[in-house]
């Protein structure tokens, strides 16, 4: 994969404590395992962050760690228009996030945001460990597909 510019991926969910940090952790693992850390910037944010600086939920950290993704150092933060201007790939976890991203995006960039998967990834917050595993199943599949697309596009 030949990369001339940095690929900037931004994952967005509601509170930035479950789905988007797990997605960022999965994508970082994929990028690291491929030896492409230099070519990617990976971040996450939330559309409705109640308190910035919160760690990822314990069940999200545990679910991610069981699959080899480290998100223990994550701290939540709110989504900004600058995030959407910077990110080459702003990705929503659900349709509601996509709508919020498009409403916040600078003029001319509203169409850049898209869903990570073809369906909403249900928020596991306040759910069981199995809810986090189900969300992570969809996140991993979406990240694998995205990474494959980006690698294919970069080899052209």
Of the residues 28, 43, 123, 143, only one is catalytic, namely: 123
Annotated active-site residue 13? The verdict is: yes
| Short-list 131, 101, 95, CA closest to 115 | 95
Q: Provide the H-helix boundaries in the chain.
A: 19-33, 58-66, 81-86, 95-104, 129-154
Of the residues 13, 18, 43, 83, only one is catalytic, namely: 13
d(CA 156, CA 135): 32
Alpha carbon distances (Å) from 93 to 41, 85, 150, 154: 18, 18, 19, 24
Of the residues 18, 19, 28, 143, only one is catalytic, namely: 19
Q: Which residues have a Cβ under 8 Å from the Cβ of 138 and sit 6 or more positions away? A: 117, 119, 121
Phi/psi zone of residue 46: left (φ > 0), alpha (ψ -120 to 50 degrees), beta? beta
Active-site positions? Answer: 13, 19, 123
């Amino acid at each position: 994969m030949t990369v001339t510019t940095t690929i900037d991926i931004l994952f967005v969910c509601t509170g930035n404590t479950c789905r988007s940090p797990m997605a960022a952790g999965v994508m970082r693992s994929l990028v690291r395992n491929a030896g492409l850390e230099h070519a990617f910037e990976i971040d996450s944010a939330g559309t409705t962050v109640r308190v910035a600086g919160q760690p990822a939920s314990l069940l999200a950290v545990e679910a991610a760690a069981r699959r080899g993704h480290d998100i223990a150092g994550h701290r939540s933060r709110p989504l900004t228009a600058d995030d959407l201007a910077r990110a080459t790939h702003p990705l929503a976890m659900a349709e509601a996030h996509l709508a919020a991203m498009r409403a916040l995006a600078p003029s001319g960039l509203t169409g850049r945001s898209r869903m990570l998967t073809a369906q909403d990834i249900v928020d596991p917050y306040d759910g069981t460990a199995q809810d986090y595993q189900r969300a992570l199943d969809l996140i991993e599949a979406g990240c694998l597909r995205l990474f494959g697309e980006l690698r294919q596009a970069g080899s052209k």
